[in-house]
Structure formats: structure tokens, C-alpha cells
Chain A
Amino acid sequence: MLKVKDLNIGYAQKEILSGLNFAIGKGELIGLVGSNGIGKSTLLKTIIGSLKPLAGEITLDGKSPNSISSQELSKIISIVLTDKVGGFNLTVFDIVASGRIPYLNAFGQLKEEDVKIVNQSLETIGIKNISKSYFDELSDGQKQKVLIAKSLAQQTPVILMDEPTAFLDFESRIQLFQLLKQLVRDQQKTVIVSSHDLDVLFRNVDKVLYLKGNKDYHFETAENIKNFFK
């Protein structure tokens, strides 16, 4: 589903990671770990096409993201970020409904089918009861859940999550990983989750991409990666 070959990432002035090679199949839940500033977010932003690779290539289902339109790409891959969102009267429903944007007309009007999908996403994450609340007025954990629901509403086969458990309580973290496992198992989605919550992550993911430094990374089972932390 997702292949990365000889990939170098970073910014024009600074290369962060280089020589990355890995392949992730359909229906796999992958953990992305590494210390702060190592390049986890940069890697995720490069995969979604928000940043250009410095060298190497990324392919999604055999296609380079550069060879398909951004509209088409938005139906293949979605992301949950830690960046600040909110304001401008945005309600929980509005944020989740924004996941339907790739499927809407120029005026951005939701059809009955879109509303149904948005409501399903809200129910799946368990936040239907706060759908009319203003996003700004939610706790950080609730905000994170809303953004995950947005990603579900986008209905992409690949989902990338940048530290989605950062603001969640312990129970919500367990629930989130249960949900991700369910999505991977039932809908054959490919999910990459970056997290510092190693206990919960190692227990739930199929494989771990451990970024240690430039040209230094490991892509192995959670069991093997655990040994590095002992």
C-alpha cells in the first residue's frame, strides 16, 4: 500500500532523515516512535505531500503522490495533526464534516449521504453527543477525538496520526487503539500512528518504525523494537 524508497526528508536548509526504506501493506497498524524533534511529524507531512522529499520516492498503491491530483490524493490518505485548529464558529460537526470536502461541489454543500457518513464517524468515536458544541470549548482530549472522527469521515484507505494520544486520558488511549485495530481488521485500512505512549503502542501495533537518528532507524515487530528500550 505504502512504499518508501531511499527517502531523504527535511527542509531546504536542513536534512533531517535520510536513506529511509520501508513498505507497509494493507490492513497494517504501524507505530512510529522516536525522540522529540527526530523527524516523525516531518516524515508524516512528507508522506501526505505537504512537504517535498529531498530525495527518493514514496508510492501509494504503486502511484507516486506527485503523479495524481491533490483531489485524488485526499481520497487515499488522511492525517490527524497536533497543529492548532479552531475558531471561526467551527462546531464539532463542522470539523468532522470537513473530512467530506474532497467529495463535495465547489460550494461545499453536504449531501444526505455525506451527513450520514459524518454522523457515523461521530458515533464511531463516541462524540455524537457533543456534535453541536463549539470546537474551541472542548478539552484537548475531546479535540483530538474530533480530528480523528474527521479523518474517518474522509474515508481514506491510509490514515496517518501524529501523536493522537497526546492529550487523551488512559481509558481513551486504550479505546483509541482498540478502534484503530478494528479499522485495520474490518476495513483493511493502513494506519501509521506516532506516539510516545510506548506501553499502549507496543501492545497494539503490528510493526514499529523506530527513528533513532539520521540514517539510523529500525522497522521491525514491536517485540524486537522493545529490546532497544530495555
Chain B
Amino acid sequence: MRNSFILHVLILLLITVALLFVNLFFGTITISLSDLKDGIASDIFYNIRIPKTFTAILAGGSLAISGLLMQTLFRNPLAGPYVLGVSSGAGLFVAIAMILFGGVSNYFIGKSLIGISAVTGSLLVMSLVLFISKRSRSNTTVLLVGIMISQILGAFQGLIEYMSDPAALKSFVVWGMGSVSNTSNKDIFILLPVCLIFCFATLFLSKPLNAILLNETYAQNLGINVNRLRLIIIVITAVLTGLITAFCGPIAFVGLSVPIACRLLFKTSHQLHQITYCFLIGAITLLLCDSICQILSESYALPINTITTILGSPVVIYLIFKSKTIS
């Protein structure tokens, strides 16, 4: 089992590295190594391709891990940051933050304030959904309430957009489409350490996550402090989802489908393995989707949400029909 895990990880790492090079060197223009010394190609490579590619890796990995944590916590394979409204919570708070802090001149302070607002929005929604899930033992109720919360928050966000001036409205609409192309190298300095630290920290939750897969009473009887675990999961999910939503907009599909795909592809319940697989498959998914966005349209970048949904949904539907062990 350990050998197959190492083999799978090596294969996934190879695919990630291959796609990383594709994203860095191919797109609206093809860049060769000799172009990197100076000129427009060099500028595109260092200032656009590098942040975009690393954002895709971090966003894909982080959203997939958030989805896995939510599905494990709620013991519901249909849970995910987008479905349960956590992304919407981040979205609404980003919209508010853009109005309140849009004029902040210091780049890092401005971005950090937007990031913190997004995390706060995610945290509030995640706590609310968890509170409801404690009141109702039905998975369907929790999903429906999550969807309703998402709709309500979306409506408030729409209201803010409606009352905004044209420039702010445009930036809301572009941000709402979801993209990994809107980040700069400065943003990577914020995203990289936070995402890596929180994703890496998740590995240390492998044991309690394995226990909670049974149910909360069994987990408690196996020596797990369930309340503390719940709190840690809420914080990690809120930070990862909030931050990615703040920088990339709400990205659909990845948080829901990647954990499902990993479960179906690798047939393991061990959370140490699933966390690793989810990060890598999440990164591969967004790298691939971003490559397709670039290749399909030479003059403008297609919204990444369109591609993630069009490509991902049929794959997951196929996998669900092929396997009986999704839930």
C-alpha cells in the first residue's frame, strides 16, 4: 500500500511538473528559453506566467483540500466550499472590502485587508453551516441550507454590485468569473506561505480525520477531541477558501469534485493519502483548465469556471456511475 502511494505521488508530481512547464512556456505566445533574457516575452514569463501558474497550483490544491475537509467533517460527499456557501461568504465580504478598502494605497495592506475580509466571510458561513448540521442530522438538510445561504449571500453581493459605480462593477464581474490570471508576483508572496502552511498542517490531522470518518461518537471513543478538530477544520477551510476566493474569485467545481475523483481513483480511505492526492489532483486540474483557457482563445482568456465545470462535471458523473463507493 505504501509503495503504491509513493508511486501514485511520483506520477502525479511528474504530471504537475509537466503541466507547470506547459503553462509557463505555452499560451497566447510560445516562449523559448532564449526569450527569457529580456524583451516582452521575458516580461510575460516573469510577471504573468509565473504568478498565474503558481496561483493555479495553490488555488487548485487549497480548494481540493478544503473540499476534502468539509466532506469528511460533514461526512457528506456532496459538501464543498462552493456548494455550502463558504465561497459566497468570502465573496460577499470581498465585495464589501473592495468598497471599504479599495482606496488603500499600500498594496500589501490593501490585499491583506481584502484577504482577511474573505477569510472572515468564509469563517462565518462555515460556522453557521456547522451549527445547522448539529441541529439537523440530515445531510440533505445541511446541503439545502448551504445552497440557500449561498443564494442569500449572492443576492446581497448582487445588491452591492448594483449600487456600485461602473468601474467597481466591472471589477466585481471580472472577479466573479474566477481566474488565476489576475494575481501578481506580490500576491504570490501572500498566497504561497499561507496556502502551503495550512495545506501542510492538514497532514497532521490525518489520524483524527480517519477517526471521524466513522462518526463523531466513535471518534471521541478513539481518543479524538472532536470539538477541537471541528474548530481546526473550520479555520483551515475558511483560510484556504477565503484567501483563494479573495485573489482568484469564486472557483466552482474543484472543491467538490477533486476529493470525489481522488476517492474513486485511488480507492483508499486513509486521509494522509487522500490529502496528498487531493492537493496534487487539485493543482493538476487547475493547471490543465488554465492551459485549455489559454489555448482555446488567443485574444482573451476564457473564464476558468466555464472550463472547470464543462470538463470536470462529465468526468465526475462518469466516475460516479462507474463506482458504487462514492459516498
Contacts and interface: CB of A to CB of B under 8 A. Distances in A.
Interface of A: 45, 48-50, 69-75, 77-79, 81, 83-85, 87-91, 94-95, 98-99, 101-102, 104-109, 134, 136-137, 154
Contact of B221 (A74, A89, A94, A105): A74
A54 to B, nearest CB: 19
B43 to A, nearest CB: 43
Given A70-B223, A70-B225, A108 B272 contact: yes
Contacts of B222: 74, 98-99, 101-102, 154
Interface residues of B, number: 32
Contact of A98 (B77, B211, B220, B267): B211
A77 B206 contact: no
A83 B269 contact: no
Nearest to B204: A106
Contacts of A75: 223
A88 B71 CA distance: 9
Contact of B269 (A50, A91, A107): A91
Given A48-B220, A90-B269, A106-B204, 19 more contacts: A45-B217, A70-B220, A70-B224, A78-B221, A81-B217, A81-B218, A83-B217, A83-B218, A85-B214, A87-B327, A88-B75, A89-B263, A89-B268, A98-B213, A101-B224, A102-B222, A107-B204, A107-B272, A136-B325
A81 B203 CA distance: 29
Contacts of B271: 108
Contacts of B71: 88
B324 interface: yes
Contacts of A70: 220, 223-225
B223 A74 contact: yes
Given A70-B224, A70-B225, A136-B327, A107 B217 contact: no
B294 interface: no
Contact of B218 (A85, A94, A109): A85
B206 A107 contact: yes
Contact of A88 (B77, B203, B218, B220): B77
A108 B269 contact: no
Contact of A48 (B204, B221, B263): B221
A106 B208 CA distance: 8
29 contacts: A50-B217, A72-B223, A74-B221, A79-B218, A83-B218, A85-B215, A88-B72, A88-B75, A88-B269, A89-B263, A89-B269, A90-B214, A91-B269, A98-B210, A98-B214, A98-B218, A101-B222, A101-B223, A102-B223, A104-B207, A106-B206, A107-B204, A107-B272, A108-B271, A109-B272, A136-B325, A136-B327, A137-B324, A154-B222
Given A88-B327, A90-B269, A107 B207 contact: yes
Contacts of B272: 107-109
